[in-house]
Structure formats: structure tokens, C-alpha cells
Amino acid sequence: MSADYTVQGDVAVIALNNPPVNGLGLSTRLGIMAGLEKAIADDAIKSIVVTGAGKAFSGGADIKEFGSPKAIQDPNLLSLILALENSPKPAVAAVHTVAMGGGLELALGCHYRVVAPGCSVALPEVKIGLIPGAGGTQRLPRVIGVEPALNMIVSGEPIKSEMLAMLPGQKLFDKLTASADSLMEEAIAFARSVADVRPLPRVRDLPCKHPMGDAYFQFARNMVKGMSKNFPAPAKCVDAVQAATKKKFDDGMVYERELFLGLMVTPECRALRHLFVAQRAASKIPDVPDNTPVRAIKSVAVIGAGTMGGGISMNFLNAGIPVKILEMKQDALDRGIATIKKNYEAQVKKGKLKEDKYNERMALLSTTLSYDDIKDADMVIEAVFEEMGVKETVFKKLDEVMKPGAILASNTSTLDVNKIASFTKRPQDVIGTHFFSPANVMKLLEVVRGEKTAKDVLATVMAIGKKIKKTCVVSGVCDGFIGNRMIEQYSRQAGFLLEEGCTPQQVDKAVERFGFAMGPFRMGDLAGNDIGWAIRKRRYQEKPHMKYSKTADLLCELGRYGQKTGAGWYDYQAGKRDAIPSKLVEDMIAKHRQDLGITPRKVSDEEIVQRLVFSLVNEAAHILEEGIASKASDIDMVYLTGYGFPMHRGGPMLYADQVGLFNVAQTMSRFAKNPLDDGAFWQPAPLLARLAAEGKSFNNVN
């Protein structure tokens, strides 16, 4: 059982002991209950202190138990809290470091709460698509007031204990201790001081009202609706807190439970829970243990001050790591530095960055034209032109000058990292760091593991990626790595859809209704259609058997590269970004169909979404089977953080699981029969076919 029981004179101390955050899984609950029963049965004990051993009071429910029989096995969280509340001897929570979700709810079940300063207090359930389900929505408003409680519950954000202790009239904390170190001593003294108080105060007995009544909740509901498109939980938080003001406590608890269970089975909740688990899983690499030693990265060099080099540098400067940028010519350096300054200054202007922080960051930045100046850097990231010849020159030079043990990273988006490594005599130190543009903004970092990349190099880059606040996902070496290899199939489908009868705006709208921030054609106009054109030209040489729609090439031949040329798939008015459907493009597509002898057909929005999303899924299944990605959830992380896949769908793999792989495979087989599509591509990938036949899901490959 994961709770310790000790006695200090007439006070029993129950300490949750389930590292790292004292999650309230079954064995912790059993431990607390056993301690409580023991304390109640012992006549020498007058009061009880409940606390958390180690680095938390409690981080809350054990998310891995959700949906499993263990979650409801007695004592469940509700019955445990009730037992504390009904204890005939005073129960005092000694709260420190972290009190979140079920942890805070547990403390609210105690008669008193003593808290250390610096403790993060939150009900974060909304972040995984739920509402607090063990009385949080009913008890928190009673102790800190309706509005502060609703704000905490709807946002899920932590607030420091000393801030909460300052709220006027608050009854959440009976005592804020002088320091974290004195918590136990002060909590035990407090427990002694209330040993004879009867009746014992219970949060459930406190009144709960808002002076504006229902009008306030209507206002809150409107606010929440605007902010939480696609997610049902925030509105349910409002309903639950409103119930606290209208219903008797026990009825409010029943209502909270109903809402909680209703949300638990929604696809949105499943998606957010998946994301929560996937985020943590992404940093785990099957054959690289957590305790792999990492190399110290105290300074970084960046080669190339272009679009990517500048953004990459900013990430390290923001984390307080000095950066030296190397270029071939001074004017390229000047341009790069000016862009970095412009980006920071825009943040200062918006009030997002303080002037002194900006100065601190710029002071960490230096430039050079000489490799001699970067030889002592712990890590170097190359972001020069995407040409193997240029990469070869740079890596040969790096091999010559860099100190032993330095990590040599390439930001290449398409080139073979193994080949780049082969230009050096230290391929074990070479790795790919594929940042996304704009590199100072985008969360995703694909960490590309070469055949010879050393495990400690991989572990170091994952750690430094976390330090610069990126979501790191490991990819093996292949053309396009995980993300771009999949997006190529998606773009191909978008092209076929135009030939078969769609307009760009129809495709975009269907995909945007599904939840993508932008459809493929608006996206193309934003990124520049010439980029895809260049890639296709290469593909026509490399993969002559691969079928492509030529529509996008015709568009580029007209010079319509997108927003930067004032016209692309859509028309644009000067200085504006609104995409206006283009008659010229429509005619161009119609003429192209005619030339190919295609009679256009009406394509449903459902087919559009399926063709685009399932194309991602099928390619992803190949990627998984080839071991380029080690888990299906890593692929979801790539798409959620790098490609704007709708968060409430949980990524392409979870989406496919929710549709059912059998259905997905059937639909693909149907698409394979379409003569205008690429039949060979639509053969379900062997892994997908196997899982579908066995009635399994991608989740089984996590």
C-alpha cells in the first residue's frame, strides 16, 4: 500500500507515498484508508494529519486507471474523501509543492488545511476533457467563492498557495506556514490545537452563492463557449459550479458525477487523455534508458543565419544558452541578426517580453565568419541551403574543427542524415534536428536518429529539446521523416480531388470543418506553392512511377505562388490575407480536366476528409512498420504539434482508431478502385491490414 503511517504523540500522520507525485491510484487510496481506520481505532490518537511524502502533496488521480475497474474499486476517491470528512477525529491536510485535481479534492475533504508557500494548486481536469469528479466543483466554490473557483476549474491553471491564501474571506487554507520546511511541525501543532473542536467543520456545510445568481452563469457560459470551440468540458464546468449554488450538496455531487461520466466517454476527452499520455511517452525511446548520461550543452553554434538559423538561435537564447552564428558573408549575418532583433522587438512592443530580458538574450548572441571561433561549442546546428554538396562542405569542415564530443546536428528537411554523417569521421556524434518554421514559434522538433547516432547523443538532444520547450519526437531516417513524408500523400490527394471535380475552396472548407486550422490550398498559399513545386520536380525524376496531379504545377507556371505573389489558389487583395475564390483558377482546373478527358463529379465532404486524413494514416502505418516511428502516439504528436491536426481528434492515429481500423481499411480498398486516384497507394499498409483483421487498434502498437 502506498501510504505510510507514523505517530507523533497523539497525532497520526498519514503520508501518501507513491512517487513521483503521489497519484491517487488504488494502492495509495487503500493506504490512506487503512491509516485512517487505524487512527480512528487508536484511543491514544486525537487528531490526524494527511500529507504527501517526497515532491508533492498529490498530483491527483492516476490517469492510467481511468476507464479501468481499478478506478472505481473501493475505496474510490469519492468514498475515501467521504471517510475523511466523516472522521470523528479532526483530519488536517498538510499541503505542499503540488496539490492538483484529486489531490486538492482530497484536501477539501479534510476538516482543516495547512499549506506551505509555493504550492501549486489546481483542478486541471478540463485539460484532459473532464470536470473535477470527486467534489471539486462543489467544494472549491464554497471555500474561495464562485467566481475564483469557476476561473480555476475552467482554465485548469495552477495558482500559488500564497495567492489563494490572500483571497478575502477564503476558507481553503486555515494556515499558511512560514516556510515549506516548517510545514509538518506547524501542521502537527495545528492538529493538536483543534483536537477537541466539535462539531468538526466540513466544507460541504458552507454556503455557496453568487450575488448575481443565474445572470452570472449565463455570462460565464457565453465566455466559455467562445473560447472552447470543439470541447464540451468547459461548459460542463459552468453547469457543475452553478449546481453548487442551486442544489443541496449531495444532489450537487450526484450531478457532478453524471457530468463527469458523460464527458469520460466523449471522443474529445479520449483525444485529450491520449495527448496527455502521448506527450509523456514521446520522450521515452525504447532502447535508450532514462538514465542514459547526457553531454553538457553550455554553448551552441548555428551555421546559417537564414529563415531557420535565426529562429533556431532564438530558442537557445530564450533558454539562456549562448549562441554563435556562423555565415559565409557579413551581409548575410547582418540580415539574420536584424530579423532576430525585429522578432524580439515585436514581442517587446506587444508586452510579451520585458526590455531587460530582450537585452539579456541579445547579449548571449554573437556572430562570426570563421570556423575557428565555434570550435569549442558543445553543439552545432547546421541550417544552410538544402543541397547535399553544401552540407558536405560544412560537415567536413565541422569534423575538422569541432572539439571531440561536440554534437553535430543538421536541420535538413529532406536529405539523408546517414549520408551527412558519413562526411565526418564521427558519425556517432551526428544527428538531425528538424525544426519547423517559424522555428522560434513551432513546438515540434523531429529528432532524426541516424544509423550510427550514439545513444547519449540522442538522449542529450532530447533533453536539450525539452529545455528549449519543444515537443521532441524521434524519427528514423527516411525521405521527409515522419511529418513531411505523410503530408506528401495528403497533398497528392488534394491534387486528385481537384481533378475529379472539387474546387480548392470546397476541399479547404471540408477539412476546416473537420477541425484543421487551414485546408491544404490555403496552407499552400501561405507557405508558398513554389516549395511543393520544387519537391515535385525532384520526385518526377526520382519516382517516375508515382502518380501526381499536375494542377499545382499549372498554377505555379502562372506564377501564382500564393500570398507572397498576391495570388495562388485564391486571389488576394493587397495587404490582406483573406482568401478570395478565384475564377481564373476554377477555369484553369476545368480546362485541365477537359484536357485529361475527365467529367467532373460531385465529391462529398465526407469523402474529401476521408481521402485526406486516411492518406496520412496509411503512410503512417508504413512508417510505423518500418520502425521510422517507434509508437503510433509519436505520429499523433507530430501531427498535433507540427501540422495543425485538430486537437479534439487526438491525431490521425487515434482518429483512425476511433473510426475503427476495419472501417478505415474497407474505405481505403474502396478508394483503391477509383481510376483517377492512385490505386497502389490505397492498398492498406500491411500493419494496418493486420490490425484491422485482428480487431486491434494502433493503440496496441504504443
- Residues contributing to the site for ligand NAI (CB under 6 A): 303-309, 326-328, 332, 383-386, 390, 393-394, 411-413, 435-437
**Catalytic residue at 345?**
no
Return the number of the residue (171 or 335) whose C-beta is nearest ligand NAI.
335
SS3 assignment for 276-313: HHHHHHHCCECCECCCCCCCCCCCEEEECCCHHHHHHH
Backbone torsion region of residue 118, taken as left when φ is above 0, otherwise alpha when ψ lies between -120 and 50, otherwise beta: left
Question: How far apart are CB 318 and ligand NAI at their closest, in Å?
Answer: 18
Question: What's the rounded Cα separation, in Å, for the pair 45 and 507?
Answer: 70
Taking a C-beta distance cutoff of 8 angstroms, is the pair 107, 52 a contact? Answer: no
CB closest to ligand NAI, residue no: 306
Question: What's the rounded Cα separation, in Å, for the pair 99 and 158?
Answer: 9
Question: How far apart are CB 347 and ligand NAI at their closest, in Å?
Answer: 21
Question: How far apart are CB 178 and ligand NAI at their closest, in Å?
Answer: 51
Which is it for the CA torsion 146, 147, 153, 154, positive or negative?
A: positive
Question: How far apart are CB 164 and ligand NAI at their closest, in Å?
Answer: 43
**Catalytic residue at 625?**
no
Catalytic residue among 65, 85, 105, 488: 105
In 3D space, the residue among 368, 387, 388, 389 whose CA is nearest the CA of residue 377 turns out to be: 368
Taking a C-beta distance cutoff of 8 angstroms, is the pair 499, 551 a contact? Answer: yes
Catalytic residue among 125, 186, 327, 382: 125
Question: What's the rounded Cα separation, in Å, for the pair 138 and 252?
Answer: 7
Question: What's the rounded Cα separation, in Å, for the pair 463 and 478?
Answer: 23
Question: What's the rounded Cα separation, in Å, for the pair 281 and 138?
Answer: 33
Question: How far apart are CB 305 and ligand NAI at their closest, in Å?
Answer: 5
Return the number of the residue (273 or 522) whose C-beta is nearest ligand NAI.
522
Whether cis (ω within 30° of 0) applies to the bond prior to 646 is no
Question: How far apart are CB 415 and ligand NAI at their closest, in Å?
Answer: 7
Return the number of the residue (411 or 506) whose C-beta is nearest ligand NAI.
411
Return the number of the residue (370 or 573) whose C-beta is nearest ligand NAI.
370
Return the number of the residue (109 or 476) whose C-beta is nearest ligand NAI.
476
In 3D space, the residue among 376, 394, 398, 375 whose CA is nearest the CA of residue 384 turns out to be: 394
What are the start-end ranges of the E strands in 573-698? 580-581
Return the number of the residue (290 or 331) whose C-beta is nearest ligand NAI.
331
Return the number of the residue (405 or 438) whose C-beta is nearest ligand NAI.
438
Return the number of the residue (412 or 440) whose C-beta is nearest ligand NAI.
412
Question: What's the rounded Cα separation, in Å, for the pair 275 and 291?
Answer: 24
Question: How far apart are CB 439 and ligand NAI at their closest, in Å?
Answer: 7
Which is it for the CA torsion 209, 215, 220, 225, positive or negative?
A: positive
Q: How far is CA 621 from CA 42, 313, 612, 644, 664, in A?
A: 60, 34, 15, 20, 12
Q: Cell for 507?
A: 476541399
Q: How far is CA 640 from CA 17, 206, 515, 648, in A?
A: 34, 43, 11, 10
Question: How far apart are CB 394 and ligand NAI at their closest, in Å?
Answer: 5
| Catalytic residue numbers, as ranges | 105, 125
